[in-house]
Amino acid sequence: MPTPTPTPTPTPTPRPPLSTLLPPLICGTATFNNQYNASAFSLPTTSIIERALALGITAFDTSPYYGPSEQLLGDALTHPSILAHHPRSSYILQTKVGRLHAAEFDYSAEWIRYSIQRSCERLKTTYLDVVYCHDVEFVSAEEVLQAVRELRRLRDAYSTVRYIGISGYPVPVLCGLAEMVLRETGEPLDAVMSYANFTLQNQTLLTRGVERLKSAGVSVVPNASVLGMGLLRSVGVPVGGKGDFHPAPMSLRNAVQEAARWTEGQGNGERLEVVAIRWGLESWARDGAVLGSGLIPNADSISKGKIGISVMGVSNLSELEETMRVWNSVLDGMSICTKVREVRKEEREWSIVRKVEVEMLAKGIWGILGEWRDYAWASPDADFVNTRVVKGVIDEVDRVTSIESVKENGDGIGGKLSRL
């Protein structure tokens, strides 16, 4: 009996480094969720996305874990008023796999395939630019490695995924897993996304993460949640439709509120959240540049430098406008930007003055935070148990056909996916 011919391993299609494609500011849509807002469906999501694109934002981050976020984002991006001016090729889509609910994770190959297909359908696209394994600290290293390998298989065989990374909270865990993936596969991760670890309150991503991630060959490290999941706000942590979800202990919250009152007392209408956003965006643009984006916003020539990448979420148009006002002012004061984009002298000078003001305010805030500076809460909690006992079982009502079977039939959005 002849020996069957083994199926050849797909050869990866050479792609440019993610740092050459991902812009330095990404619109996060975790806020399109009842966790941050009383009703996600009451948010002006289409108007937010349309205005973001008009302001030059060309990348969006989401996740199946963020409630209706993927669906709302997909509906917005395919709205006729947006689609007419912004085809799919004009922006980057990032989503995630593996986290189903607060205490339910599934990194099995079967679930990964299902999740990718479902995300494509919700986002109304035939491919995903970047996919992260979501909150990797909640599963084993072996499960993360299995998920990364499956995502790479989908990338190489079907082109449904183009770049692959991991996301989570504890910086040492993220670094260890990035090193493990490189060691076990010989290929580095394209991206590692950290959240709430480079803020006015906590700079662990810089002090304990950047060098290790660089050594692990990671291309980009987006910094998400410069407000620490809403911790650094004068009104306190957000309480949405699901109640108070924030993991910060009460003593840290009290210290932050003391810092907020001190900030307001400095005059000129200062608010903690405004200072925190400015400091976070400006500092990471500089300190995260080694693992940042080579794309300079509104540049009229090619820059040889990089800017650290930030992910910013908003819930309304006024928050978006304020974020973009601050972001553009940050860019006005950066020499790497003024060399390749037109900036008026007074705008550059104002940006430099504001940078000094914010740095002075930051020092005062750090003095108030005291021992709480660089504090990182536990993730997961010591008593965490993954409630997903049987992995890979797809029990969704709207079950989606697998990528492989759709490829054979050649119909539906999956057929388009497989033919890319």
Give the integer Cα–Cα distance in Å for 306 and 22.
11
Is 66 designated active site?
Answer: yes
Angstrom distance (rounded) from CA 69 to CA 99: 14
CA distances from 119 to 29, 123, 261 (A): 14, 6, 42
Of 312, 324, 356, residue with least CA distance to 223: 312
Q: What is each CA distance from 105 to 133, 252, 288, in whole angstroms?
A: 10, 29, 30
Judge contact between 155 and 161, C-beta under 8 A.
yes
Biggest distance spanned by C-alpha atoms of the chain: 86
Candidate list 66, 127, 158, 195, residue with the active-site label? 66
CB 276 within 8 A of CB 199: yes
> Within 10 A of 419 (CB to CB), how many other CB atoms are there?
11
Distance CA 270, CA 302 (A): 36
H or E element in which residue 60 lies? strand 59-61
Q: Which two tokens stand for residue 406?
A: 């759709």
Among all residues, which ones are annotated catalytic? 66
